[in-house]
Amino acid sequence: MKSLLIAVIAITTVTSASAQSLPGGFVYLRDVDPTIIQDIRYATSNNFVGRPLAGYNAGECVVKQEVGLRLKAVQQELATQSLSLKMFDCYRPARASLDMVKWSQNGRETAAERRYNPRIPKTELFRLGYIASHSQHSTGAALDLTLVDLKADNAAKIDPSRSYADCTAPAAARLPEGSVDMGTGYDCTDAMGHTAAPSITKEQRAWRKRLVAAMARQGFVNYSKEWWHFSLPGAGGAAYDFPIQPRRN
């Protein structure tokens, strides 16, 4: 999810982190399983804020080591079905969550932002549990992800000259994501984005169930308001604020 509100969280600020040295048992997911597709959206302008978030200095998935190993196991299972995980967000610096807070309070709401929040004003996203100032992502134990059908044509790219529909529209009308059709786009703050939403098609529901089941077999728990958000109970701990830096080969 964009953020999961947790009542008490200790934020450990690490003033610098080298590209090869990560604190607290964190690892680059590419070092654990390079076959898992990554599209770290908060390191780009292709997200609900419309720009890279604070602390995302590289589009790299960083996770706790246990989380990475379990994701590798999920990926190995999916590979036998010509499927792959695609990561949208992993570890999130605490400063990025505060960046979201500032965004929600800036008094503006653009058409591009409304694509992600078609029915909910951005000022209401905190009260409704879609964004919080403290995120479980900052512990390294929460993830945003989807499935990719490796047999399908996933080559569609965003056309900047095109006016896309909001995240609840049919897949052909909304921003392309190169993944299976889960019924909404990623980060869609709408009832249709709830995992068990009754308004999606039978096929879309089957894809969601397939993702939830594959993740559950490795101990991951889905957040009911966001089909894309999963966490691994017991793998978190303190929150961190070190920036995501480029990974050295």
Query: Is the Cβ–Cβ distance between 169 and 96 less than 8 Å?
Result: no
Give the pTM: 0.90
Residue 4 has pLDDT above 50, yes or no: no
Is 241 annotated among the ligand-binding residues?
no
Is residue 28 left, alpha or beta, with left meaning phi > 0 and alpha meaning psi from -120 to 50?
Answer: beta
Q: Which domains does the chain have, with CATH numbers?
A: 11-240 (3.30.1380.10)
Query: Is the Cβ–Cβ distance between 244 and 52 less than 8 Å?
Result: no
* 124: annotated active-site residue: no
- Compute the mean pLDDT over every residue in the chain, rounded to the nearest whole number: 90
Query: Is the Cβ–Cβ distance between 154 and 148 less than 8 Å?
Result: yes
Residue 18 has pLDDT above 50, yes or no: no
Is 137 annotated among the ligand-binding residues?
yes
> What residue type is 168 in one-letter code?
T
Query: Is the Cβ–Cβ distance between 44 and 244 less than 8 Å?
Result: no
Is 134 annotated among the ligand-binding residues?
no
Query: Is the Cβ–Cβ distance between 153 and 89 less than 8 Å?
Result: no
Euclidean distance between the first and final Cα of the chain, in Å?
A: 30
The single residue of 109, 113, 203, 226 carrying the catalytic annotation is 226
pLDDT in tens, 62-120: 999 999 999 999 999 999 999 999 999 999 999 999 999 899 888 888 888 999 999 88
Residue range 148-162: mean pLDDT, rounded:
94
| Confidence (pLDDT) at 13 | 37
| Confidence (pLDDT) at 12 | 38
